[in-house]
Structure 1
């Protein structure tokens, strides 16, 4: 039997009509231990269904060291039909009670060791499409707070600039890396806008295209990602973590698989792999 825990909504930041950041503070017990990359199942009663509790899982954007609240970035599903849970969630206000179940999921857990038991020092490249950026917000915050020295690159793709939900945070983390030096905190962030012709994007001067286009080789056989990190990307120096629509995952695989990267589901005989991913739809 499912036993819901309770939380109260303490913060709502509406980024646009169908995109918002929510913070939930547990009221029946403290924020439990969990791992960056896991998701939280939340539930709300739906009046049109006799107040039946509808539950959905959302990647956690807050990090395990933060014991004050859970943070989620959620898109309101409106097509082809309104989402049952997201519609209710976007109708909530600060002070509303919400149900939750303990964090779970291992698809995007951060590798700490290689199959041979040695410490994993490979570069971490996180590719998030839309709200698929959420687990990598948790990654960045967590790795920052524990003093991880690995190089971390976050690539975020969106249709519009106002969907770059954590642009300010990631920019600040990169600025800190430049100030302190890569030996202390090695972080890089780039975003891509796929609809640069839209009036809402007229101020955008960054990368144009889908987020996976960072992996596409240019005429000199060097990708945008390789230009960012300053060396050739290969399975011995980089692990990819990907989250977003299935099209985003597939688009990344089109570039990575031919270059001998393998997924966790298809790991090599020695147990090694270079790609972890999670898709939604």
Structure 2
């Protein structure tokens, strides 16, 4: 039998009508232990069905934050609106919600297959709300003083969907101010619909997020220019989260270059790509 704990929605930030940040505080006051990259299953009572429905969402906050759990959620309404998400987007601050203990394996690798410390740079590619686990990664690695190079790439359709832009930009500024030997972090975003009127102010990268990996003229890719290094399976591990199309787009580029995913790891257990799909 599933036993739910109770939490209170203490904060809602509406980025647009179908994209919001939610903060939950357990009613017993104890934020559960979890790892960056894991997900939280929440539940809400649906009156017309007289039952609790549940769904899992990646956690955007980090485990060193003991004040609340933060979720970054889109309300997908086509072809049919999700039942739980519809309830959630009609909820108010102060409302009660059910939750189950965080779980999931989409976590940061600290060792390689032979047991040695993983020193590779981390390239995190998030499509839409697939950014959430990487916000957790960045805050966690910052909090523990990890010195590995971390690059977060975010793809969205519109500029107002670049959730956490301010937070991630501030983390990059800190890296510049302190020096990359202290905190080595880079954040970049791309907009896939630059021709839309709402995106008229955007002056950054355009196209789907996987375009960061592709060379336009046979030279270094945008990503390689960003890190000032050639990306190889020896020096880089990729983490990808988003719709299956985003994952397929990245893997179509990486596989021919010898990168192996965790799900298709080599006989010795080695791999260079971890991914999590939500559709």
TM-score by length of 1: 0.98
Deviation at 1:29, TM superposition (A): 5.2
**Structure 1 CA distance, aligned partners of 2:29 and 2:173?**
36
- Per-residue deviation, 1:61: 0.1
Matched residue, 1:205: 203
Match in the other structure for 2:109 = 111
**How far apart, CA to CA, are the structure 1 residues paired with 2:131 and 2:199?**
19
1:193 aligns with 2:194: no
Partner of 1:228: 226
Residues 198-249 of structure 1 deviation map (CA, whole Å, 9 limit, x = unaligned): 1110000000000011011221331110010001000000000000000000
How far residue 118 of structure 1 moved from its aligned partner, in angstroms, is: 1.1
User: 2:244 corresponds to which residue?
Assistant: 246
Equivalent-residue separation in structure 1 for 2:119 and 2:82 (angstroms)? 41
1:99 aligned to 2:98?
A: yes
Find the aligned partners of 1:202 and 1:31 in 2 and give their Cα distance: 41
Tell me which residue corresponds to 1:173: 171
What residue number does 2:135 align with?
Answer: 137
- Counterpart CA distance in 1 for 2:129 and 2:276 is 12
User: Paired residue for 2:74?
Assistant: 75
Residue in structure 2 matched with residue 87 of structure 1 by the alignment = 86
Q: Distance in 2 between matches of 1:109 and 1:100?
A: 20
For residues 69 and 270 of structure 1, the distance between their equivalents in structure 2, rounded to whole angstroms, comes to 39
- Structure 2: how far apart are the matches of 1:22 and 1:32? 17
In structure 2, which of residues 259, 262, 265 is the aligned counterpart of residue 261 of structure 1? 259
Provide the C-alpha distance between the structure 2 equivalents of 1:272 and 1:221, rounded to a whole number of angstroms. 28
1:22 aligns with 2:15: no
Q: Note the residue ranges of structure 2 that are not aligned, 5 or more in a row.
A: none
What is the match of residue 61 of structure 1?
60
CA distance in 2: counterparts of 1:256 and 1:114, whole angstroms: 19
Query: Per-residue CA shift, 1:143-197, capped at 9, x if unaligned?
Result: 0000000000000000000000010011000000000000000000000000001
**Cα distance in 2 for residues equivalent to 1:255 and 1:217:** 11
Cα deviation for residue 28 of structure 1 reads 2.9
Measured in 2, the distance between the counterparts of 1:186 and 1:221 equals 25
Match of 1:278 in 2: 276
- With 73-82 and 234-243 compared, the bigger mean Cα shift is at 73-82
Residue 33 of structure 2 is matched in structure 1 by 33
Given the two structures, how large is their TM-score scaled by the length of structure 2? Answer: 0.99
Distance 1:245 1:208 in 2: 18
User: Quick one: distance in 2 between partners of 1:198 and 1:147?
Assistant: 40
Query: What is the CA–CA distance in structure 2 between the aligned matches of 1:188 and 1:241, rounded to whole Å?
Result: 15
